[in-house]
Structure 1
């Protein structure tokens, strides 16, 4: 009897250890925050709590070229209405590629301006950070300057520097080069061209599969960013007028000015203004969105091709408007598929 009890004890302990280790190895859930003011609604707070979120990547500002001086300057910095209460925040700087292409912009000056702005914002809001993320869709033409910028900001800041990586930069890494960052985030969205036809430009599995085999060989540790946003493509006479952010199928189904003409398209049946945008009778709005099924498919495909389990799955982006079509804990469920 004593032998059986001991055996039962060790089997139970082993199973507990295996379960605990398995849970520990699963990626953490994180979010990008991409608004111009930081304020979390009760729904957004509930999502963070339900999915055990400890980290938010916050867009601090864009770096653009000034239209008159053509110098690099911080554009649309975020305003903190609230102080973030999560354990860790990571300032994200969106660096426009044209800044790197400008002969008037030097790397030392750019690094100085970026770090000064981050420090001023942190000081003003009593925030601190151990990591800075640079979001930039650099090209072969801007490659060398971008690599120099990353190296310089890493040396001067004495912080961890992470960077965003697009699928094409992974597949053609020999041409675009691998940035000297501490870690990288694979942006697994915005894969196609925004078009009138039915293709979903946010995510298309057939496009993704052309790049997936390259992911396993990328020499940097990869976290993964997945999309949870939707938008509308505003079309008039077969021409695209623009993108209408945070617009969903449900929004237009509830608006009597729009009639559903396909699974993803609505026709304007009466001219109207909606959130400051004029929709003329006969215009078409094509909704592009991501379903839970899409997210599961992305997670499974990436899990099959990544060489290691990602440390984090970062969802873009933290906004109550994006949570309408998902279960509260879906973000944790998706991260557990890796």
Structure 2
């Protein structure tokens, strides 16, 4: 009898506690961060404030690219970052982008020397700017044909760098992991964007993110054999369409440019604009009657993406939610509370 009374008392205490606290869900342990991908690092006041207040100064900083030089028939660094301000207050993860062509061309004997060169340049840049680091992220859209050489590079780099190693993962590499393989790293970074089809059809779904295309991949997430951080989109682009065909994709043409009524008129579809005349815009040729379909991401859409994705992820404490990227117009339209709200879904 005493046991029943005790059990009843515990249940009653639990109900009262739930009533008082509103039965809140377990608090998210995810941490927000930003990518920065420009070749010159110099934050303005609004970017610095968003980084500090929205992401506690957590920054994934692209230091340089690694490309294949056809003339020299060898690899070389490209677009090395120029850091034009003091960065000691930031918690920086170096990011290196390596083209898939590099691994198409590399011989097995060039892999280890490349790992040593990449590690050396990372350390030179970080030492020059008096920044210590605990992790490196490698970004490469490898294929089944380059898988073995890329994975060998990752192993060689890990051996010489001796810090935590992460690799970016595209959605198709999640779905077809049995073909593309799982990189030999400590953690993956799922790029949850660029999932739709670029099309001249004006009513085509948003190719940066849409829930329909995302649903084709996310069911494969629980069985993926790496812990995953998440990258969410924070950018826009304009698709140039001429006579029903995609001509080009522009990240530098946004709402501001398309709202210039001397050059464009808005169509019945609110995110599609028509060129009034033929002209040049920042060196880009635009022909009269060209259509520009603006695709972007706002806080509402980010919340939809985060909510959809979080339901399918294996549990991970202290997951990083990285927003790509800090220098975009889309980022300037956000406030720290928007970032915190989206990150809280994880």
TM-score by length of 2: 0.87
2-structure distance, mates of 1:178, 1:146: 11
Match of 1:4 in 2: none
Aligned match for 2:45, one of 42, 47, 54: 42
The residue correspondences of 1:99-114 to structure 2 (distance < 5 A) are 99-104=102-107, 106-114=110-118
> Following TM superposition, where does structure 1 have runs of at least 4 consecutive aligned residues deviating by more than 4 angstroms?
none
**2:64 alignment partner in structure 1:** 61
Q: Is the 8 A contact 1:166 1:186 kept in 2?
A: yes
Shift in Å, 1:235: 2.3
Q: How does 1:75-154 map to 2 (within 5 A)?
A: 75-104=78-107, 106-154=110-158
1:285 aligns with: 292
Q: 1:240 aligns with which of 246, 253, 269?
A: 246
Match of 2:235 among 229, 238, 252: 229
d(CA) in 1 for partners of 2:169 and 2:141? 8
Aligned match of 2:6: none
Query: Out of 197, 200, 205, which is 2:206 matched to?
Result: 200
Deviates most, 149-158 or 245-254: 245-254
Alignment partners' CA distance in 2, 1:188 and 1:52? 19
Contact 1:61 1:94 in 2 (8 A): yes
Distance in 2 of aligned mates of 1:120 and 1:38: 16
**CA–CA separation in structure 1 for the residues paired with 2:146 and 2:199:** 27
Provide closer, same or farther for how the CA distance between residues 156 and 171 of structure 1 changes in structure 2, counting only shifts above 3 A.
Answer: same
Which region of structure 1 is more displaced relative to structure 2, 151-160 or 318-327? 318-327
CA distance in structure 1 between the aligned counterparts of 2:76 and 2:56, rounded to whole angstroms: 32
| 1:265-290 deviation per Cα after TM superposition (whole angstroms, max 9, x unaligned) | 11100223222222221111111111
Cα displacement string for residues 74-111 of structure 1 (whole angstroms, at most 9, x for unaligned residues) = 11111001132444101111111111111447211211
1:153 Cα shift?
Answer: 0.5
What's the secondary structure of 2:71's corresponding residue? Answer: coil
Equivalent position SS for 1:322? helix
1:26 aligns with 2:34: no
Task: Measure the CA separation in 1 of the matches of 2:88 and 2:48.
Answer: 10
**CA RMSD between the two structures:** 2.2
Q: 261, 265, 270: which one pairs with 1:263?
A: 270
Shift of 1:250: 4.4
Check the 8 A contact 1:246/1:321 in 2, yes or no: no
Task: Tell me which of 168, 173, 180 is aligned to 1:169.
Answer: 173
Aligned with residue 329 of structure 1, among 331, 337, 340: 337
CA contact (8 A) 2:33 2:60 kept: yes
SS of 2:342's partner is helix
How many angstroms apart in 2 are the aligned matches of 1:244 and 1:306? 32
- Assess, with a 3 A threshold, how the Cα gap between structure 1 residues 230 and 150 changes in structure 2: closer, same or farther: same
2:280 corresponds in structure 1 to 273
1:52–1:34: structure 2 CA closer, same or farther, 3 Å change rule? closer
Matched, 1:301 2:308: yes
Contact kept in structure 1, 2:264 and 2:275, CA below 8 Å? yes
Q: Shift in Å at residue 54 of structure 1?
A: 3.1
